[in-house]
Amino acid sequence: MHKGVVLIGHNLVFAYGPDDVVLRGDSFEFRGPGLATVLGPNGAGKTTFFKILLGLLKPQKGRVLVNGIDVTGDPARAGRYMSYVPQLSSMRRDIPVTPLEVIEMALRSRGLRGRAVREAAAKLLEEVGASEVVDHTLGELSGGQLQRVLIARALARDTDVLLLDEPLSGVDPKGRESLL
């Protein structure tokens, strides 16, 4: 988180049904810079919680603010402050695009142009241990390689809040070591 960023949840209630309550009036406040971890057993609602933070799911009660912007009321604007690496990628892998191009798109969305884009993209892929797949298509990547590309894409966006939902799922031990 960058200095001064604030992520607030106030009285959040969310349930998939009467017997599947995820949040029961929970509140939180994260002030950056910093690191926070959401822990819980499988099926506890961590992914649901992240989706509420991102505005992908709407709580039955309560609200989430990022830098004063209501995530539910203005998800596009709030989304400029957050990046998300899902537990399981829904990224289409049949489109003939390379990891380098994926990262370049994220960098261009921040306004980077020219030669700096390619250099920054290659550096990010190297930092997450994915430089060996820079010119492969997404369809040629293993699950762990794709996960590293998604982490690099999130880092490329350079947002205030970075939400990582089991970011090491599918990543081999050597890849985990390079990410940590």
pLDDT for 124: 95
Residue appearing with tokens 């609602």:
45
Q: Which residues lie across from 96 on neighbouring strands?
A: none
What's this model's pTM, rounded to 2 decimal places?
Answer: 0.84
> For the packed helices 99-109 and 115-127, what is the interaxial angle rounded to 10 degrees?
120
Q: What is the pLDDT of residue 31?
A: 87
Instruction: Please state whether beta strands 82-85 and 161-164 pair in parallel, antiparallel, or not at all (unpaired).
Output: parallel
Give the pLDDT means over successive 10-residue stretches in the chain (180 positions): 76 93 90 83 89 93 95 90 82 84 93 91 93 91 89 92 81 69
Superfamily of domain 6-80 in CATH is P-loop containing nucleotide triphosphate hydrolases (3.40.50.300)
Output the six-digit token pair for 102.
Answer: 């994926």
Instruction: Return the domain boundaries, the chain.
Output: 6-80, 99-179
The whole-number pLDDT of residue 53 equals 93
Return the residue matching tokens 């209630």.
13
> What's the CA angle centered on 91, arms 89 and 97, to 5 degrees?
135
Nearest to 149 by CA among 121, 177, 112, 114: 121
- What's the confidence (pLDDT) of residue 2? 52
3-class secondary-structure state, position 17: strand
